[in-house]
Amino acid sequence: MVWPVNPHPTPTGAQVYGSPRSYPGGHIGSDYGVSTGTSVLAISDGVITQSAFDSLVGNYVRIDHDNGVTTRSIHLSSRSVSVGQRVSAGQQIGLSGATGTAANGPHLHIEVYLNRTNRTDPHAFFLQYVGPGNDEGDDMTPEQDARLKNIESLLAVENGGGIRGLVNNVKAIGNNIESILAKESGGGIRATVNAIKAKLGA
C-alpha cells in the first residue's frame, strides 16, 4: 500500500477529516495541499468503478481495492483510467487539480471507505497502514522500492558477500564493457576500463 500523493503534507484546519462544513458530519475526506498536476496514485491493487466528471467535485476516480477498501479521489485536473480497468499500487490514476465548484484551490481530496461503505479518516488510515513516510515528498515509488531490493540483494551477506559481492558485480560489469567496446588494437576505452578494474583490485 502507498500514499495517494507525494508530497502528502499533513492536513490542517479545514483540510482535516471531520472538520466543520455547512452539511452534517463535516468534511468527509482528507485534503493534501499539492499543486495542480501532481500525480495521484492508486493506494493498492484494485478495479476502477467510477471515472467521471461532476459539477460539484470535478473529475473524480473511485477504486474498489482488493483488500475491501474503497477510495474516491476528487478535484482532479485530469483522469488517467477508465471504468473496469485494473490498477496496481502506485499506478497513476490522474493528476491533482481544482476542478468542481467545491474546490477552493489546488489539492487532492481523498475519501476512504472500509468494507466499501464505512467511511474513515483517510490520513489516520494511511499513517496506520502505510506509515508516516515523508510529508516533504521523499517517499519511494514502487519502482524505486524494487530497485532498492535489487541493491539489497547485491549486498546480501553470502559466502563472504556484502561489499565484496557488490565489488564483484561491478568487476563483472567492467568485463562486459571491455568485451563489447574494446577494439582489437586496444587503446582508449580498454585502457579506461582496465584503470577502473585496477582501482577495484581486479
Active site residues: 107
With H, G, I as helix, E, B as strand and everything else as coil, classify residue 189: helix
Torsion angle in degrees (nearest 10) through CA of 52, 58, 63, 68: -130
Q: Which three cell numbers stand for residue 74?
A: 476528487
Contact 180, 193 (CB under 8 A): no
User: Cα separation of 18 and 63, whole Å?
Assistant: 22
User: Cα separation of 194 and 143, whole Å?
Assistant: 33
